[in-house]
């Protein structure tokens, strides 16, 4: 994906496809991912890039050790 909007559209499409196939696990996974993407987009309105998994995680959990940034 090039942009977060493309990723959101792709996930929405895949959710509909997974629902039609009756794949509840895939629907659950994609719904969680879609929620994270929408939340990220809300928190970073000026950014258009497609965030990676770590960016999504740190947006939701900024105090986790993986997300802390230290100044030297």
pLDDT digits (tens, 9 = 90+) for 5-54: 999 999 999 999 999 999 999 999 999 999 999 999 999 999 999 999 99
Which residues have a Cβ under 8 Å from the Cβ of 6 and sit 6 or more positions away?
Answer: 50
Q: Quote the pLDDT of residue 71.
A: 81
Query: How far is residue 54's CA from residue 49's CA, in Å, rounded to a whole number?
Result: 14
Does the structure show a pLDDT above 90 at 72?
no
Query: How far is residue 20's CA from residue 29's CA, in Å, rounded to a whole number?
Result: 15
Query: How far is residue 50's CA from residue 19's CA, in Å, rounded to a whole number?
Result: 24
Tell me the pLDDT band of 69, cut-offs 50, 70 and 90. Answer: confident
Element housing 67 (H / E):
none
Q: Quote the pLDDT of residue 57.
A: 95
The angle, 0 to 180 degrees and rounded to 10, between the axes of the packed helices 4-21 and 24-43 is: 160
């Amino acid at each position: 994906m090039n942009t977060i909007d493309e990723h959101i559209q792709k996930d929405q499409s895949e959710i509909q496809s997974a629902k039609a196939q009756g794949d509840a696990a895939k629907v659950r996974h994609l719904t969680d991912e879609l929620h994270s993407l929408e939340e990220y987009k809300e928190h970073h309105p000026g950014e258009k890039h497609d965030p990676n998994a770590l960016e999504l995680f740190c947006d939701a959990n900024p105090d986790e050790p993986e997300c802390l940034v230290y100044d030297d």
